[in-house]
Amino acid sequence: MKTRKLRDLTVSAVGMGCMGFSHGYGACPPESESIRLMRSAYEDYGCTFFDTAEVYAAYENEILVGKALKPIRDKIVLCTKFMPEIFLPGQEIPEGKTSRRGLRSAVEGSLKRLQTDHIDLYYEHRVPANRDVAEVAEWMGELIKEGKILAWGVSEATPEQIKRAHSVTPLTAVQSEYSIMERKYEAEVIPLCKTLGIGFVAFSPMAGGFLSGKYTSQTKFEGDDLRRVITRFDPKNMDANQALLDLLKKFAADKGATPAQISLAWMMCKNDFVVPIPGMRRDERLKENFGAADVVLDANELAALEAALSKVTIHGDRKDSDIQKLGTVKAVVKS
């Protein structure tokens, strides 16, 4: 597997988003199968970049990831996140979660669940609009000096928040949704990351799986599946977005690749500091997604793809507020 730099961390060019092993996309694989797939990502494909969060299934995903990666802990880059405004069991403290004590409590809990003595990359999962991110940046700097974390990042942050945080304790990565179907961060955030030397980690780079071309407007999303409330998976929008899939299929056929691989290669070939972390729960998805690291789009191919994409209208989106209403986080949101 090719590698990339997220500031001072070297990671595989394609990482693994682990949330789906515990919740969010319908029925989950058995624990033994999830563990096998995570280990296969490293052993068979060279993936060294694994992403989880305390809030995924209320601690369950961190516990699973810790168990799966323990035998290869010293060979991989492990990332997790604390959610400042979502209180999980045991996190109700007088100072509030967004405090020095609250952050330390959160990181200690993650260290225990992940069965490790340090976290390679620790994110503030969302940055509250009514808080000064500089406070968290200062506390993250303390954790770095103590060796509890090696680097820190923010998720879904604004350009102003990124600059403010980075000025206090340099950021290693910004993690936000980014795909051919969600490109808002290309306007300011990704160029800012390039200027400041900050890596950009793309979650949902396959737009919840839509870009794989494996789903149709007839697909039923039930139970613990975020796609029930993501409007791009509304049947009418899925039909309307078929034009995008047709375009990707054409480029994929010309390149001897799959639409999923073109979708991932598109963002990796545009910027060498962007690392996608697709979720994948089947062997064929591992082979396909990690294989995207070897798909190279030259300048002319990228230009042709961008020109074609500029003529396609994207229907639907993904909103955190809708996802929280679904209730899959199993947590209590406090103001």
- Residues with active-site annotation: 56
Asked if 85 and 332 count as a contact pair (C-beta separation under 8 A), the reply is no
Residues 6+ apart with CB under 8 A from 117: 111, 147
Residues 6+ apart with CB under 8 A from 145: none
**Strand 9-12 versus strand 49-51 pairing type:** unpaired
Q: Rounded to whole angstroms, what are the CA distances from 83 to 126, 163, 327?
A: 6, 20, 15
Q: Rounded to whole angstroms, what are the CA distances from 247 to 213, 289, 304, 309?
A: 11, 19, 11, 8
CB atoms within 10 A of CB 145: 10
Cα dihedral across residues 78, 123, 117, 90: positive or negative: negative
- Alpha carbon distance, N-terminus to C-terminus of the chain: 43
| Residue 110 CA to its chain's centroid (Å) | 17
| Residue 168 CA to its chain's centroid (Å) | 24
Residue reference for tokens 């699973």 = 64
Residue 248, exposed/middle/buried by CB under 10 A (0-12, 13-18, 19+)?
buried
The Cα 124–Cα 134 span in angstroms is 12
Residues 6+ apart with CB under 8 A from 94: none
